[in-house]
Structure 1
Amino acid sequence: MEEDTDSFTNRPPWSSAAAAEGGSLPPTENISLSEFETFAVERLKLLKTVETLGVSYVKGSEDYIRKLNAEISNLSFPYRAEATGDKKQQVGATEQEKRRKDHISHFILRLAYCQTEDLRRWFIQQEMDLFRHRFGELASKHKTEFLHQNELRYDTITTDEKTSLMEKLVQSTYSISGASVLEQDIYKVPFQDALDLVRMRKVFLRAGYAYIAHQDIITIVLNDYRTRLSKALALTARSLPTVQSDERLQPLLGHLSHAYVGQDYSVQKNVGKISLEQIDSLAVKSFPLCMRELHRSLREQHHLRHGGRMQYGLFLKGIGLTLDQALQFWRAEFVKGKVDADKFDKAYAYSIRHMFGKEGKRTDYTPYSCLKVILSNPPSQGDHHGCPFRHSDPELLKQKLQSYKLSQAGINQIMELVKGMHYQLACQKYFELTHNIEDAGFSLNHPNQYFAESQKLLTGGREVKKEVDSPSTGQGAPARKTSDTSQGKSGTLTESKPGNPVPAEAEMAEDLDSLFQDD
């Protein structure tokens, strides 16, 4: 049986215990490996959108809700889940399939993101934000049904109780007024289940119970959800070795935890349309900060260690440099340093041809995604690879941004994102500041995506011209905001085709590491 039509039964070992703690039972049906990967990739896209919107907008605001609902709809997940108690709601086949995908995809990503503390933390946060959004969309009666179904048997108080406690409820709960007390549900909750609200003095206490306004009950529910999901991921991690023994699943799960779900930049669309004379100018105007810094270091030192050569070389390949251009570019720069032409041809030319798939296994290697850059081995002394927002000292990063003439307010925004470990969003903010726009109009996931979107903006959507630009060392003139900001939105991202995976990143790194050796 072919791999892409092979089936996989998502049964134990991770099912019973993990699901009991996680708040729902895992799926037990057979699914194909193709569907397994497709569901996982699409949920990963959704969670990455949740992360981006959570930083870019106030959670729960109109813009946040509208954009998240649009993405949920685009990816064919349930738009609005309704709790139905004991009465089964009749739903159409399309809606039922959406719910099936929602259920299965969550458990697949549990497998992929239970492997390390950082992965678990990221997964829990995004799933909690998605849960908060969905819970907020429920009608009042369905919220109560949901609580009871999940053994959070919190009852609402009667109208008479509301009237008698109105003054105390208004004084203790800033989110309600006298007029709104009678119009909303007030939940009576054991105080130990509402310690966060008690700690913040946002709730009325009496006789061991906390009286919670309906908009605050989500705090209780989220705490319970976090506890259950955290325990479930820990149990899943203990069972993971058994799951990984399946040779069909192990590479898929490993790929998902570091997956890039955007355009495939292994296909060069602009081959030969970039001239070597343009690179200095493009580095200033259209390179992300990681590549701009690699280019600057190469020009200043006439050498890059193997990590930098891999990261920058594949990026240049992705923006359109041909093999001949790459050989000429690297040779000319290295010869300016301590490497003569003969040594370059013997020690470095083979590795560049290998990168283009002309030597060794003849694999056409793919430019690094943002996740690959962020999660790869961090740079040591003398290295220049990696993500500046992730790997640079904060003070050095500030100085670097100041040297590129960014405003202090903009630098402060970037540093806040860096502090929150939102490195890709920090780079997206850098894009907006250097291009003088308020909204990039896309979700940044790849250095080559950054370059492509910059060129679209600067050239009005046209392809890169082969006109020779004068080399520039200063800050490029910011572009005016155009009306075409819809290109590259998260809804247009494409996924790798199931059954045709990109060469494993570990194999890629191993092959190239053996070639890119330092002097």
Structure 2
Amino acid sequence: MAFFYLTPVKGELPAHLLDVIVDNRLGYLKTVLNEEPPLYNEYLVEGSMYDNVGHFTLCIISILCENREFSQLFVNAELELFKRRLETLTAYELRSFSKKLLRIIRKTENIPIFIDSLQVLCQHLVLKDVAQHICTSHKNHCNLHSIKLHFKQCLSLVAKRQVELTNGFAIIPCGRWKQYMTMLFKENLIRKIKYTDVTSLKSDPRIMELLYKVKKEFSLSKDSTNILLSKDVDVTSTFFPPCMLNLHQNLRRRHRLTHSQRFYYSLFLKDIGMPVEEAVDFWKAEYSLHPNGHHACCHNWEKDEKKYLYGIRHMYGLEGGRKNYSSVNCQRIQSIDNCSEGGCPFKAFDSNNMVPLLKNCTDEILSQINELKQKRLYTNACMLFMNSTYSKTMDCDNFSFNFTPVKYYKVATDEEKMEL
């Protein structure tokens, strides 16, 4: 169960099998980002040779392709896969996982500093009582057990005030241990991509063929790094603000949106980089499907193609008065009443509908969001969630008036590029 990937396995594999492993891993990572239910895949069995080879090969591809967009998607997908695996471990499996990591750490030379804190954490997780406690219905605020580390080893937790500081040391409660291990996994992955020298592999035709296939799959040409393709919207939606993520999920589930919400969502996609040709492909794919459930919109692409084509081209300033429309701000979205898709989730949704959109939001942040909702500070609530997710520091009072879903998206994607 060495799915922390500290060291690669050694051995030989035929080139055609390596191709299959990489292809299967890419497909599986896409399902992870799309939050689809996990399916068995023999090439991604936790801790297997195929799992290890696939991970490290994609690390190499990420380095060689020199494309931040792909590296960003790869890191996010691997991080989500790690979280999913970590959450499903039983107490016995968690102890086995920690013991395996400790054995690898002891055998590894010239390990980075952050591995010291991983070692301290694993030394606690191998204890039977501790592992059983962690794998029960464990809360983020639980502090029955704790570890003590220098504050520099957990700066993200310190920045979010999720740990106590004493004389330069951070006390990390057990309720934050899985979160902390996930942070260490991300740090390890980013270090591999940043500092591994793979220059010699540029002359390996097998690796370069894999690189070509990945570039073709993800359209990673240098002149298209800021273009949003129709086929990439599902993956990119992980960076959408809750209001646009809600519209995207509604569209995928029901294959229709009301006219105003389709207009707002189309402009959002346009302003984050979707060309008009891709917009046509995107909406054609959805509106060619039969509506799922009762919906006010009775149009379909086959019958109303000319109308939809004109509407899309009109938004891009290619028809009618040639006005190039821009996406709306948060105040406009919050002014919408009686919208079947919900408008601004922070204003219109109750907790049961809002929380699923706020992925990985802590109980503390949720409590602060609810306080802002009660004060009708909906934009501030959205920005608080953004800050807690992407570690950005923004003065909500100064920026909330002109805040937009596009600005949220740019903060989210810029943060990921900075970390890479």
TM-score normalised by L of structure 2: 0.46
| CA radius of gyration, larger in | 1
Q: Which has the higher helix share?
A: 2
TM-score normalised by L of structure 1: 0.38
